[in-house]
């Protein structure tokens, strides 16, 4: 034993050198533990929870849009027109007319008729409609002869004028399909009466003549045939009974004077004044209207007088010049009326009431018209009415402004 240990000690340095050489010659191999990767946790079987939720939501949305599309109503003709336009734009020149049967949009179908659509080889939808609405029967009103109508109207006129016919004042007959009422009594001829000295006084009409013309007007309103009033002594002068409701004065147009009536003269004067004052009427500065035989030129209050004064304002003078020149061309008396509202005068040394103020304003207007226009002095009359003739309510500001006015009235009678 001791000998072996001694041998090892002797060979120790050589053995260590050999071992180092072997280690240098052979490369070091990596350890298996370092080469191995860390293993991940095992995956769970099946889809993740978020994917199932997303799939359910996508399915529900698709079902929702399918329902909306099924409920929607497509305008097929419009769609086909659009596709036809696209085809024409891209070179297809075929035109296919499309007519779809009407569809009811409500519980009560409007402009809808039953139809049967027939299939055709072409892309054309046609239908055969049957109009079940029958036309209303028109009453036969023109199957009477003219003689029959005239006879019925003739009897009506005879019944209305039965008293005058019995007294011998008129005669009723048919001439040229017209009903003629011929005056036979001297008291009703031409609107003239006989005076005490035997001469004829023109323009005098008795009460019986007035009543007779009123009855003729009533009869004309009841029938369709034309009624003509003639004078037995002057058959060439006639009165047409077309104008319903004419009074006795209008009925004397067939008198021997032969001139235009007063009503026509007033109408002509009215139209003439409206034409000459057209600009002022359009601007709201004046109004022209008729009241019986009178023509009223109403001047607005704005810019005419100061409150509580009767002095003319400079802006009011051009309007007065225009009105004075227009009124001077007419016939008849001219009245200048002054009107105020119902507000009493509080502080004024000159005017005690609205009566004084309205009279002073109308006098100022009349003085200016007489001095600066062709209006003659003998035709003008001045009147002040204060607030006794309002044309609007005095409870509002606009109504009081309308009541403060100047009216130039032309009497055409």
User: Residue 374's pLDDT is what?
Assistant: 86
Token readout for 376 is: 């003659």
Burial environment of residue 363 by CB neighbours within 10 A (0 to 12, 13 to 18, 19 or more): middle
Instruction: Classify 382 as helix, strand or coil.
Output: strand
Of 197, 359, 398, the C-alpha closest to 367 is 359
- Integer distance in angstroms from the first to the last C-alpha of the chain? 180
Hey, what domains does the chain have and what are their CATH numbers? Answer: 146-194+202-258 (no CATH), 264-411 (3.30.1330.60)
Give CA–CA dist 318/283, Å, rounded. 14
Q: Give DSSP secondary structure letters for 18-71.
A: HHHHHHHHSPPPPPHHHHSPPPPPPPPSS--HHHHHHHHHHHHHHHHHHHHHHH
Nearest to 207 by CA among 157, 247, 160, 265: 247
Print pLDDT tens along the chain (413 aa). Answer: 555 555 554 555 566 677 666 666 655 555 555 555 667 777 777 778 889 899 999 999 999 999 988 887 666 677 777 776 666 666 555 555 666 666 655 555 555 555 555 665 555 555 555 555 555 555 555 544 444 456 777 778 778 877 777 777 778 877 777 788 777 765 444 444 444 444 344 444 566 776 777 777 777 777 777 777 776 655 444 344 444 444 444 444 443 344 445 677 888 888 888 888 888 888 888 889 988 888 899 988 777 888 888 888 888 888 888 888 888 888 888 999 999 988 888 777 778 888 888 888 888 999 898 888 888 878 889 999 988 889 889 899 888 888 889 999 998 76
**Separation of CA 260 from chain center:** 38
What is the Cα–Cα distance from 173 to 237, expressed in whole angstroms? Answer: 17
pTM: predicted TM-score of the whole model, two decimal places: 0.39
Give the whole-angstrom CA distance, residue 338 versus residue 368: 14
Compute the Cα dihedral for 135, 139, 142, 145 and give only its sign: positive
């Amino acid at each position: 034993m001791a000998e072996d240990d001694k041998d090892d000690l002797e060979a120790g340095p050589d053995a260590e050198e050999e071992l180092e050489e072997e280690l240098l010659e052979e490369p070091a191999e990596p350890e298996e533990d370092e080469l191995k990767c860390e293993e991940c946790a095992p995956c769970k079987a099946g889809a993740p929870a978020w994917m199932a939720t997303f799939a359910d939501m996508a399915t529900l949305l698709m079902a929702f849009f399918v329902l909306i599309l099924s409920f929607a109503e497509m305008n097929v003709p419009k769609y086909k027109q659009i596709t036809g336009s696209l085809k024409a734009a891209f070179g297809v020149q075929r035109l296919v007319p499309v007519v779809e049967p009407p569809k009811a949009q409500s519980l009560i179908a409007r402009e809808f008729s039953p139809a049967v659509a027939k299939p055709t080889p072409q892309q054309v939808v046609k239908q055969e409609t049957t109009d079940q609405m029958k036309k209303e029967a028109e009453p036969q009103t023109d199957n009477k002869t003219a003689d029959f109508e005239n006879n019925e109207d003739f009897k009506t006129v005879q019944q209305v004028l039965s008293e005058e016919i019995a007294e011998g004042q008129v005669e009723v007959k048919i001439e040229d399909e017209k009903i003629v009422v011929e005056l036979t009594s001297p008291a009703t001829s031409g609107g003239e009466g006989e005076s005490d000295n035997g001469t004829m006084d023109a323009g005098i009409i008795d009460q019986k003549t007035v009543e007779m013309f009123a009855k003729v007007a009533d009869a004309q309103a009841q029938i369709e045939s034309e009624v003509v009033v003639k004078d037995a002594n002057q058959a060439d002068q006639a009165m047409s009974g077309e104008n319903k409701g004419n009074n006795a004065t209008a009925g004397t147009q067939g008198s021997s004077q032969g001139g235009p009536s007063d009503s026509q003269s007033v109408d002509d004067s009215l139209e003439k004044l409206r034409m000459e004052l057209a600009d002022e009427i359009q601007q709201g500065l004046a109004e022209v209207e008729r009241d019986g035989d009178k023509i009223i030129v109403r001047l607005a209050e704005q810019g005419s007088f100061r409150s509580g004064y009767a002095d003319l304002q400079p802006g009011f003078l051009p309007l007065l010049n225009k009105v004075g020149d227009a009124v001077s061309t007419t016939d008849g008396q001219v009245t200048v009326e002054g009107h105020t509202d119902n507000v009493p005068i509080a502080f004024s040394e000159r005017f005690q009431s609205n009566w004084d103020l309205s009279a002073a304003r109308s006098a100022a207007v009349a003085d200016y018209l007489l001095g600066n226009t062709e209006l003659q002095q003998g035709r003008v009359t001045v009147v002040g009415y204060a607030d006794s003739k309002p044309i609007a309510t005095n409870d509002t500001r606009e109504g009081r402004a309308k009541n403060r006015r100047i009216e130039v009235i032309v009497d055409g009678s």
